[in-house]
Amino acid sequence: MKYIILISLILFTLSCSLDRTNPLDPMVSSINAPNKVTSIYVATTADNTIMITWSPMSTVSGYYIYRSQSYDGLFELIIDEVDETVSSYEDLGVNIPGNFYWYKMSAYILVDEKKLEGYRSEPKTWN
């Protein structure tokens, strides 16, 4: 029992002295995740299509769009890599009569050729 405690204490002490090397660690890096996407509007159009528009952000690389059939349900990623210059998306072929869809969005930036996703927006639907 003494040896287990001694080994645990040594491992704990050694692990506390390790250098921080995570490039996204706010203690050693100035890289921050993107802010939430704002001013998201959802509207239905003809032919079972839902139009999603938002305010574009100048400091992001692109956007993710998620969809669910309930406000607090499981949100499925329906599109990624929406170009940063785009500020709208058409969700085509959804079954609008009898169904309601909720959407969330997030922005991402590229860090070492990998995507760092920001916070997801609150769920939005058409009114």
Q: What is the pLDDT of residues 54-99, one digit of tens each?
A: 999 888 999 999 999 999 999 999 988 788 888 999 998 788 777 8
Domain, as residue range, for 97: 34-117
Mean pLDDT of 22-40: 76
- For residue 15, tell me if it sits in a domain: no
Contact, 10 vs 93, CB < 8 A? Answer: no
Rg of the chain over all Cα atoms, to the nearest angstrom: 21
- For residue 105, tell me if it sits in a domain: yes
- For residue 27, tell me if it sits in a domain: no
CA distance 89 to 29: 33
**Distances 15 to 5, 19, 29, 53 between C-alpha atoms, Å:** 15, 9, 20, 47
Higher-confidence residue of 12 and 73: namely: 73
- For residue 107, tell me if it sits in a domain: yes
H-helix or E-strand spanning residue 41: strand 41-45
Exposed / middle / buried, residue 84 (Cβ in 10 Å: 0-12, 13-18, 19+): middle
